Structure 1
Amino acid sequence: MTNAPDINIQEILQNPAVQEATNNINKGMIARTNYDPPKCSVFSNKYTYLKPDHSCRFSIDREAEKQLPNIIKNPLQIITGIESPEKDFKTEYEKKRRIGIVFSGGPAPGGHNVIAGIYDAAKQANSETKVYGFLLGPDGIIENEIIELTGNLVNKYRNTGGFSMIKTGRTKIDTSEKMNLSRETCKALGLDALVVIGGDDSNTNAAFLAQEMYDDGVQVIGVPKTIDGDIQVKDDEGRVLCAMSFGFHTAARAFANAVSNLCTDSSSDVKYWHICKVMGRVASHLALEVALQTHANITLIGEDLADYVDEKRIEKAKNDNTVDYTAYGITLRHLSRVICDCIVRRAAAGKNYGVAVIPEGVLEFINEIQLFIIKLNTIIAEYNTTHDKTFHMEFPKLTDKLEYLRKLAQRSREDRSFTIWNTRDDDLFNDIPDFFQKGLLMERDSHGNFPFSQVETEKVIMEMVKDYLAFLREKGEYKIGIKRTYYNKTLQKAELDPDFFGPVLFKNYTQGDILLVKPSIISLKTLNQTLIKEGALKEGEPIPPAIEKIYKKSVPDFKTQTHFYGYDGRGSDPTKFDCIYTYNLGLTVFSLIANGATGQMAAVRNLEQDFLQWEPAGIPIAPLMHLEERKGKLSLVLEKSIVNTNSISFQIVKALREKWLAANPGEDNYRKPGPIIFSRENEESRPITLTLNALADKF
């Protein structure tokens, strides 16, 4: 063994080529940070003013009117350009300001560009304006933790993902103590305006902050941020004011690229079903967009499952002259059967592989699960109030809890007035995997609520799918189709007559290019028996190796790989769409501030149209808020937007489900969205769901 020459690592590290190769900043990132997003046409003017649009009407909640009196009558404000305003207007517009910005909630691609837009517009109006960033989210406001944002710092993060510039946090300013501390911070800093960049809860916070600091003269502006896409605003006439929160397009594209790669892997290795859970705890917008981007074989949309109606149960109830309310909403059992049917049909076509997309919150749309939670909450609470010991102390083991529920079901048979837990409940509950039963029976939080976030959605569903597939395999209904050409070649090579053995082995030998082994043949033993019965084999003779090979090829081995897409997508560098959208949101924010607005949410209308038609606006937050149960009590909140199953985008996905399932011998219909390539000229310009839904007026 020869001695290696001495290496001067310090000299190597000083080499320009080495430094370039190992630098944190690469050429792609330089191109990103140097990119100058185009501005909406209105911002080509030196000044902007607000034009109220009183034609937009909202159904006002009485409680919102009571709690937010100073901002409840805010109108929709359209940003309008002006070159030569009056002197007083110019003086107010260009005055020196102090603006605070906070990120609230999980990151979403494009947040840095909101800051860049605010910073650029503020400095252009008055170079002495100070812009501050509150550190680590709302805690930064409460604890007065800030940094002053400089041009160098802002430039470093332009067009990049994450909220790394000032970080984020999930604290809510939802108590009088937190509100008072926030007011003190804003007063101490002499803030003219506070910008809250966040989701529905954060914009709800923004409305209350605007109300609380109204008399202090501190303007509060919200910005719609959430990769879930569940901030969508329409007026009472159905006019779209905010079509999509920022970050959605990037996250969907990031997820779609990863799912598309799995489609490629699945159809290459042909042995796995990839089960892909994507973020979206309340709404299935991301799953819908990923379906359109990738054409995955199966995509569940929670809102669609909620609309399911069991016609057989309705008919039975009708014949019995009763009403079966359990016929409305899909059950876990039926959902597992639907998925199994898709898997079995693809296997029969010779495709024992595929890709399924499941939204994170799909279980929340299953009526049965919601009923279980309500009933179990009631059972547990009632037990705790009538016994000295708590339910979980009295029944520490799952088997103990199940036995107690079984006795309640028995009681329902003996006492018709007892309906809280009946035999159907007990049967359905026992269909659920043990770990999920345990989860549903876990201790509630301090408010008595079920901790849904701790449920492994995909595991719950796939455990039931695997169990039923095993049952179908035993019945001989789950088999892999064999190509006729492969069968003929295999038998001819073994000098056996395909036409002699074909009718013995296959139920469809006289038709089709894909052959299915008879349902009665479910093991080597039953294969042997069938061959003997049909005269193709004598007692004691071994099964011909070629026949055994064909049989084994038909036996499915259901293998899955599970994946969760969430944090990777929300941390992705933004698409060009999100870069442009968020930068213009930032410009919109300053326009609202410069014109004295408060309690408004920055928005850009017409996102589904060509960029030249984009229209910046300020949406009043207070009129959007309604009472909703949160943590066991009614609270004013901004309502989340779920997938509209009547929308064109969903109806198209529904119409193409069979095609994308591709349960036939032909090619799969996978679509390759490709990675997010910032510099590519033909980069997708907006979410497909927006493009499709924009066609609504044409049909």
Structure 2
Amino acid sequence: MVPRENAQEALTAKVARTEGKHSPFEDAVRTLPIPVCSVFFDTQQRLAQAAFQATDIAVAGGKRQESLAAFPLTRACNQEAVLEAIPGDFATKPSGKRVAVLFSGGPAPGGHNVLVGLKAILGDGNVLLGAKRGTKGLFSGDFVEITANDAHAIFNTGGFDFLGTDRTKVKTPEQFASVKETIVKHQLDGLIIVGGDDSNTNAAFIAEYLLREKVACCVVGVPKTIDGDLAIGSLLPTSFGFDTATKVYAQLVGNLNKDSASAIKYWHFVKLMGRTASKITLEVALQTKPAAALISEEIYEKGMSLDQVVDHLVQIITERRLKGINYGVVLVPEGLVEFIPEMRQLIQELNKVLAEYDRDIRDLPTLKNKQEFIYPVLSPASAQLMASLPEDIQEMLILERGDHGNVKVSQIETEKLLIEKVRYKLSQMKRHTDRYFGSGEGKIDIPEVQIEAFKAVTFATQAHFLGYEGRCATPSTLDRAITFSLGMAAGSLVLAGKTGYMAAITDFDRGGRILALPLSGLITSELRKGKPELVIEKSLVDLASPAFRFFVQHRDRWAKEDLFSSPGPNQYWGPTCNQVPISVAFNQGYMDFANLSLGEEHDIRELLSLEEP
């Protein structure tokens, strides 16, 4: 036993050793085994490049005429047929290849394992380069070679910090020429783009451009986004990052469920990341069973107004209050306001007004002056709606603008907007009880004593936004496994000379199935910012899906009673570490959400002969 007088020195040394990403937890997760699909092993159980065979599955997005014309060379190469990985039977492993990889867009848990998977397949006979700062690094040729020691250091860790990322897209002729110049200069045989729907759209255009320019470089995409909006039915149940992020948010929402029931006074309004799809909100709701969860796609489908959304929440709060349950949690998707038709119309009109009268509005000294100028040039309905919004929200809509002068929709504090609108409606109910309580259509028929009890309760709230907390978390078992396999799949595609594909993995409950989806077949024409654009279609919450139907069947009970769950933190060891997203399990027809099966577990350090640096 160390004497007390020497304890401080020993403790100091141990704490110092945790610097540089070496906390006990980080060091432990680097040693965790992960499931690996059997297709990546040869007959001697060594990691090996997979081969690919065509399936009878073809993918084709909607509004095809424009996309057909945009990718003639890629389509001629892949015929838009899905490829399936099979065990390779190669006498010799390809060598001398130079492959670059970059991260694009926001970070998501598991990205580092994509790099490790690539390194595993390419081996020492080929060179793996990482572009620093995403597409910017590709333009400038700012590469770093990824070594076996690097693979050990980043294995199973969260974040994109090893390379960095950025949101620059390749769109102009000059940018495409810059990509070509970098590829030729560095003699690249492959380019792997790890990103979401926009980044993989970029990969499709780069692949076509390089074919047209007769540059022999394979371009492969890897699907990433915590939002879950890059999914292709049973071919790609979800992108990597979604599982970990929703587990992080579910833990925090579960804590708030407990807090609200413990303090017995707070309503927690929680905005969850997901500008377009409400998949995060749906998944977190399935895991935590809150008092209320709003799904943007449903609100849009029903054509609900902002007041109707508020009335829905007020009804839940009132029913719980009358039962003595004066607390709860409300989940709000980040992009909600854009799915409320009248709010979308208001934002479109504001964008037009702010552009047309930019100088006039900027020169007005006060917010009130600006409001008095703007209201008359809006349609009567939009002017009335804007006037009903809290003052700080109006100020944000007028003053906070993006690079193109438009309203910054993503920065609207929707959770606070709803809090203030609900607070106002509840205060109206208190002041005018005769309008809302008593006998008659639309009124709540309760005794006078309950009305007085209702009036006595204060609407105490807390607002939260959960987003960045989940983007760089240590990846879950699912995300650690699928990212490693996606990296190996992408590397195998490059070694096989395949271009214009996105690596995919499915069948999370049956050992995993590795696919390659033709990017050109995923492209469709959509209106973006009022103009048609060729993109990979975002996957939204399907209102006919089993996951959403389960939510609809149970949410009324969650609203009327305390049936919440607190799922706890993401688990890396033990009986609950093999869970997949509940929504994915429902929609893919799995029998269980806690029975991940992606192959036998392997110690990657042994497979790669890695030694701790």
TM-score in same-fold range (> 0.5):
yes
Call closer, same or farther: CA 1:140–1:594 in 2, change over 3 Å.
same
**How far 1:173 sits from its partner (Å)?**
1.9
Partner of 1:392: 361
**Cα displacement string for residues 10-54 of structure 1 (whole angstroms, at most 9, x for unaligned residues):** x81587666668895244333311123222121123453211124
| Mapped partners of 2:158, 2:284: distance in 1 | 20
Q: Is the 2:237–2:588 contact (alpha carbons within 8 Å) kept by the matching residues of 1?
A: no
Partner of 1:139: 136
Partner of 1:361: 335
| Mapped partners of 2:505, 2:554: distance in 1 | 31
**How far 1:601 sits from its partner (Å)?**
0.4
Partner of 2:58: 56
The secondary structure found in structure 2 opposite 1:55 is strand
Q: Is the 2:347–2:407 contact (alpha carbons within 8 Å) kept by the matching residues of 1?
A: yes
**How far 1:182 sits from its partner (Å)?**
1.8
Call closer, same or farther: CA 1:299–1:14 in 2, change over 3 Å.
closer
**How far 1:213 sits from its partner (Å)?**
1.9
Q: Is the 1:101–1:196 contact (alpha carbons within 8 Å) kept by the matching residues of 2?
A: yes
**How far 1:300 sits from its partner (Å)?**
0.6
Alignment partner of 1:70 is 2:70: no
**How far 1:590 sits from its partner (Å)?**
1.3
**Cα displacement string for residues 535-573 of structure 1 (whole angstroms, at most 9, x for unaligned residues):** xxxxxxxxxxxxxxxx6x961111111111111111110
Partner of 2:457: 556
Partner of 1:593: 494
**How far 1:273 sits from its partner (Å)?**
0.8
Alignment of 1:183-198 (within 5 A): 183-198=180-195
Q: Is the 1:79–1:588 contact (alpha carbons within 8 Å) kept by the matching residues of 2?
A: no
| Mapped partners of 1:401, 1:35: distance in 2 | 58
Partner of 1:638: 536
Q: 1:80 aligns with which of 76, 79, 85?
A: 85
Call closer, same or farther: CA 1:25–1:623 in 2, change over 3 Å.
same
| Mapped partners of 1:477, 1:50: distance in 2 | 71
**How far 1:645 sits from its partner (Å)?**
0.9
Q: Is the 2:109–2:159 contact (alpha carbons within 8 Å) kept by the matching residues of 1?
A: yes
Alignment partner of 1:282 is 2:276: yes
Alignment partner of 1:204 is 2:161: no
Partner of 2:228: 229
Alignment of 1:294-443 (within 5 A): 294-308=288-302, 329-380=303-354, 384=357, 390-393=359-362, 397-404=366-373, 407=376, 421-422=379-380, 424-442=381-399
**How far 1:259 sits from its partner (Å)?**
0.5
Partner of 1:102: 102
Q: 1:461 aligns with which of 399, 415, 418?
A: 418
Letter in 1 for 2:219: V
Q: 2:260 aligns with which of 266, 270, 278?
A: 266
| Mapped partners of 1:380, 1:39: distance in 2 | 54
Call closer, same or farther: CA 1:517–1:207 in 2, change over 3 Å.
same
Q: Which moved more, 1:468-477 or 1:280-289?
A: 468-477
Letter in 2 for 1:439: M
**How far 1:656 sits from its partner (Å)?**
0.8
**Cα displacement string for residues 414-470 of structure 1 (whole angstroms, at most 9, x for unaligned residues):** xxxxxx713x44333322222223333447656454321231111122111111111
The secondary structure found in structure 1 opposite 2:298 is helix
Letter in 1 for 2:379: W
Percent of aligned pairs with the same residue?
A: 34
**How far 1:380 sits from its partner (Å)?**
4.9
| Mapped partners of 2:100, 2:424: distance in 1 | 55
| Mapped partners of 1:263, 1:284: distance in 2 | 20
Q: Which moved more, 1:48-57 or 1:394-403?
A: 394-403
Q: Is the 1:380–1:391 contact (alpha carbons within 8 Å) kept by the matching residues of 2?
A: no
Letter in 1 for 2:229: D
**How far 1:478 sits from its partner (Å)?**
12
Larger Rg: 1
Letter in 1 for 2:200: N
Letter in 2 for 1:228: D
**How far 1:305 sits from its partner (Å)?**
0.6
5+ residue gaps, structure 2, are 43-47, 437-444, 592-613
Q: 2:449 aligns with which of 494, 509, 517?
A: 517
Call closer, same or farther: CA 1:27–1:18 in 2, change over 3 Å.
closer
Partner of 1:320: none
Call closer, same or farther: CA 1:21–1:426 in 2, change over 3 Å.
closer
Q: 1:472 aligns with which of 412, 422, 429?
A: 429
Call closer, same or farther: CA 1:517–1:198 in 2, change over 3 Å.
same
Partner of 1:669: 563
Q: Is the 1:517–1:554 contact (alpha carbons within 8 Å) kept by the matching residues of 2?
A: no
Partner of 1:582: 483
5+ residue gaps, structure 1, are 1-5, 235-239, 309-328, 409-419, 480-506, 510-515, 522-550
Give RMSD over aligned pairs: 2.8
Call closer, same or farther: CA 1:83–1:599 in 2, change over 3 Å.
closer
| Mapped partners of 1:478, 1:559: distance in 2 | 23
| Mapped partners of 1:400, 1:26: distance in 2 | 55
Call closer, same or farther: CA 1:554–1:587 in 2, change over 3 Å.
same
| Mapped partners of 1:101, 1:262: distance in 2 | 39
| Mapped partners of 1:251, 1:581: distance in 2 | 15
Call closer, same or farther: CA 1:380–1:674 in 2, change over 3 Å.
closer
Q: What is the TM-score with the length of structure 1 in the denominator?
A: 0.76
Higher RCO (CA-CA < 8 Å; seq separation 6+): 2
**How far 1:208 sits from its partner (Å)?**
1.5
**How far 1:222 sits from its partner (Å)?**
0.4
Call closer, same or farther: CA 1:393–1:684 in 2, change over 3 Å.
same
| Mapped partners of 1:17, 1:229: distance in 2 | 40
Q: 1:686 aligns with which of 560, 563, 580?
A: 580
Call closer, same or farther: CA 1:216–1:83 in 2, change over 3 Å.
closer
Count, aligned residues: 571
Call closer, same or farther: CA 1:147–1:20 in 2, change over 3 Å.
closer
Q: 1:241 aligns with which of 224, 235, 241?
A: 235
Q: What is the TM-score with the length of structure 2 in the denominator?
A: 0.87
| Mapped partners of 2:215, 2:59: distance in 1 | 28
